[in-house]
Amino acid sequence: MNKVYDVLIIGGGVVGSAIAREMARNKLSIGVLEKNLDVCYETSGRNSGVVHGGFAYDPGTLKAACCVEGNIGFDQLAGELDIPFSRCGKVLVGNTEEDMATLKRTIEQGRVNGARDLRLIDKEELHRLVPAVVGEFAMFSPNSGIVDPFKYTIALAENAVQNGVEYFFDHEVTDIHYNDEEIYEITTTHGVFKTRWVVNSAGLGCGKISEMLGIRGYRVIGSKGDYIILDKRTGPLLPMPVYPVPSNTYMGIHVTNTTDGNVIVGPNAELVTDFTYYGVPQENMDYLAESASELWPCIKKGDYIRNYSGILPKWVDENGVIQDFKIEMREDLAPHAINLVGIESPGLTGAVPIARRVVRMMAEQEELTPNPDFNPRRKGIARFAEASEEEQKRLIEENPDYGELICRCEKVTKAEILQAIHNPLGVHTLVGIKYRTRAMMGRCQGGYCQMRVAEMIEKELGIPKTELQYARKGSYLFTGDVREEV
Ligand SMILES: Cc1cc2nc3c(=O)[nH]c(=O)nc-3n(C[C@H](O)[C@H](O)[C@H](O)COP(=O)(O)OP(=O)(O)OC[C@H]3O[C@@H](n4cnc5c(N)ncnc54)[C@H](O)[C@@H]3O)c2cc1C
């Protein structure tokens, strides 16, 4: 490819996509190189989905600053991107004197960080807020919230694309070379790309990309967390996330409500070296259920509908001590490169503030011209199931495809699936449709609708079923027809 981009961003997770969108506020040619077939197949789609308050991080750290800034700005961001977000609050539940002392310290730390309205509540108030919880007292954070991590990441990327950013999926970066003309040549699995600036936002791959840039020596370890997803029947019993009292480095196994009415239980924290294994062993599920039941005794095996896991990239020093987010420019080693390392939690909450810092670093080196056409607003796919009866009637009158249910569990219509199939990022995996519409995410997990969605993709995009992939590269589902049509 001969085009020379102004900026190429490596990694299209929530952080890379937020950077792409913030960069697009300026007149720049921007590309995102993403090794997967969609934007949130790694950590950004594998987390608790909590918009944190900002009290859990050491004062003065980037984690604290980005978290508080992200939390404060989330209502505006969710409005602009048309994504599900609820500022439902959150409680950290304690029982002992030691817990009380930790919660008081946490409130003070939050106050220093700028987290708002944190307070201790007694047993009575705790049970008024979350009747099913077990505990003597709690710290209440009214400004914590929950977001749909899939729709959030997709929305950032779609809005970036609306504003001129190009996404290249299935493009794994394998080598980076800075040539004599001060241009980066980035080798990917599908050709070489050229750019004046490069941003490393590769999540779990941050250490490898950093090495390719010549910025060596970062030690990045993985901390894997497993989750159980519970049936929507349990949703009404959990109006806000319930956490135990945290330790210095770990928030503990919690229960979290989701924007769609499910409950998720987890995560544990297991050090891993394999950044590609996402299996959830039975013994871990048993451990999660047992631990979380001490806080919220509503977990029954009959309500399990799925499990999943995510891996945090933690940057540690030589003694294994976890470090702050690193957002750096090393002109001596890699001119015009912005290197992000160890973007673990609260990366979901802090993605836009992280992106603002990246753009500010670039602006310190060269003058950026604002893009007068930048539009921060993007419209998502309207959920038929959430519309009023009157609105549903109107939608069906205008488009009869709203009258045909494809996913019965989540009540997703043909019209919504068609919009998802023709999504602005050009993603056509089955999970791509799932994350955009919630089809296949309900109680039966696609038993009823998965084949129908596959047929719709084949019909709309002309992709034969034998070439259709579930999520990751190579995840083919079908080898051919069992018998010929007659
Ligand atoms: C269990 C768990 C719970 C969490 N809970 C929360 C929470 O409640 N709230 C919160 O704020 N944060 C939470 N987080 C943290 C948050 O999810 C992450 O900080 C955030 O998603 C990081 O986003 P990212 O874009 O940096 O990483 P990713 O989403 O991993 O994106 C990086 C992208 O880079 C791509 N990539 C990697 N290498 C290459 C390469 N060589 N070439 C091309 N592309 C490449 C990957 O495919 C990936 O898509 C949690 C994380 C975990 C694991």
pLDDT tens by residue, 28-71:
999 999 999 999 999 999 999 999 999 999 999 999 999 999 99
Do 129 and 266 lie in a common domain?
yes
**Alpha-carbon distance 401 to 459, whole Å?**
15
Tokens (6 digits) for 223: 């901390």
The predicted-structure confidence for 430-439, as pLDDT tens digits, reads as follows 999 999 999 9
Classified as helix, coil or strand, 273 is coil
Residue 69 inside a domain? The answer is: no
Question: For position 486, what pLDDT does the model report?
Answer: 65
pLDDT at 249 over 80: no
Question: For position 363, what pLDDT does the model report?
Answer: 98
- Work out the pLDDT band at 95, boundaries 50, 70, 90: very high
In the numeric block, the tokens 């030691």 are attached to 98
Do 123 and 254 lie in a common domain?
yes
**Alpha-carbon distance 99 to 103, whole Å?**
6
Question: For position 483, what pLDDT does the model report?
Answer: 84
Do 140 and 266 lie in a common domain?
yes
Is residue 237 within 8 A of residue 272, CB to CB? The reply is: no
Residue 460 CA to ligand 1 centre (angstroms): 31
Closest C-alpha to ligand 1, atom 3: 47
Question: For position 481, what pLDDT does the model report?
Answer: 83
Closest C-alpha to ligand 1, atom 21: 44
Question: For position 474, what pLDDT does the model report?
Answer: 94
Do 309 and 392 lie in a common domain?
no
Averaged pLDDT for residues 209-223: 97
**Active-site option among 52, 254, 336, 428:** 52
Residue 335 CA to ligand 1 centre (angstroms): 25
- Listed as own residue / partner, the contacts of 106-109 with beta carbons closer than 8 Å and 24 or more positions apart are 106/55, 106/56, 106/139, 106/245, 106/246, 107/55, 107/139, 109/55, 109/56, 109/57, 109/58, 109/59
Residue 51 inside a domain? The answer is: no
* Residue 431's CATH number: 1.10.10.1100
Residue 132 inside a domain? The answer is: yes
β-strand pairing of 191-200 with 119-122: unpaired
Boundary-marking domain end, from 316, 351, 366: 316
Question: For position 66, what pLDDT does the model report?
Answer: 98
Closest C-alpha to ligand 1, atom 9: 50
Question: For position 461, what pLDDT does the model report?
Answer: 97
**Alpha-carbon distance 258 to 407, whole Å?**
19
Expressed in angstroms, the distance from the first to the final Cα of the chain is: 47
Tokens (6 digits) for 13: 């997770």
The predicted-structure confidence for 374-413, as pLDDT tens digits, reads as follows 999 999 999 999 999 999 999 999 999 999 999 999 999 9
| Burial class of residue 405 in the structure, from the number of CB atoms within 10 Å of its CB (0-12 exposed, 13-18 middle, 19+ buried) | middle
* Residue 128's CATH number: 3.30.9.10
Do 236 and 312 lie in a common domain?
yes
**Closest ligand 1 atom to 348 CA:** 11
Work out how many domains the chain is built from and give that number: 2
In the numeric block, the tokens 């099913």 are attached to 132
**Alpha-carbon distance 357 to 154, whole Å?**
21
- Work out the pLDDT band at 248, boundaries 50, 70, 90: low
Do 308 and 421 lie in a common domain?
no
The predicted-structure confidence for 458-483, as pLDDT tens digits, reads as follows 999 999 999 999 999 999 999 888 88
Averaged pLDDT for residues 142-162: 98
Do 291 and 411 lie in a common domain?
no
pLDDT at 250 over 80: no
**Closest ligand 1 atom to 201 CA:** 26
**Alpha-carbon distance 201 to 8, whole Å?**
10
pLDDT above 70 coverage of the chain, percent: 99
Question: For position 243, what pLDDT does the model report?
Answer: 96
pLDDT at 163 over 90: yes
Do 288 and 416 lie in a common domain?
no
**Alpha-carbon distance 193 to 2, whole Å?**
8
Question: For position 484, what pLDDT does the model report?
Answer: 76
**Closest ligand 1 atom to 67 CA:** 11
**Closest ligand 1 atom to 41 CA:** 49
Boundary-marking domain end, from 293, 316, 339: 316
Ligand 1: residue of 36, 41, 44 to mutate (most ligand atoms within 8 A of CB) is 44
66 membership: H or E segment, kind and range: helix 62-72
Closest C-alpha to ligand 1, atom 18: 347
Q: How many whole angstroms from its chain centre is CA 285?
A: 22
Do 401 and 310 lie in a common domain?
no
Concerning whether 428 is annotated as a catalytic residue, the answer is no
Q: From residue 227, give the alpha-carbon distance in Å to each of 2, 38, 204, 267, 459.
A: 45, 22, 19, 5, 35
Q: From residue 276, give the alpha-carbon distance in Å to each of 28, 81, 222, 279.
A: 34, 30, 10, 9
Residue 462 CB: number of other CB atoms within 10 A? 8
Residue 406 inside a domain? The answer is: yes
Do 294 and 412 lie in a common domain?
no
Residue 258 CA to ligand 1 centre (angstroms): 19
Closest C-alpha to ligand 1, atom 38: 205
Do 137 and 285 lie in a common domain?
yes
Residue 263 inside a domain? The answer is: yes
Residue 418 inside a domain? The answer is: yes
The predicted-structure confidence for 312-333, as pLDDT tens digits, reads as follows 999 999 999 999 999 999 999 9
Mean of per-residue pLDDT scores for the chain? 96
Residue 249 CA to ligand 1 centre (angstroms): 18
Residue 322 inside a domain? The answer is: no
Residue 157 inside a domain? The answer is: no
**Closest ligand 1 atom to 70 CA:** 11
Residue 52 CB: number of other CB atoms within 10 A? 26
Range of the domain at 392: 384-467
Taking CA 443 as the corner, what is the angle to CA 439 and CA 444, rounded to the nearest 5 degrees? 75
Ligand 1: residue of 42, 186, 339 to mutate (most ligand atoms within 8 A of CB) is 42
**Ligand 1 residue neighbourhood (C-beta within 6 Å):** 10-16, 33-36, 41-44, 46-50, 52, 172-173, 201-205, 209, 225, 267, 310-312, 343-349
Closest C-alpha to ligand 1, atom 14: 345
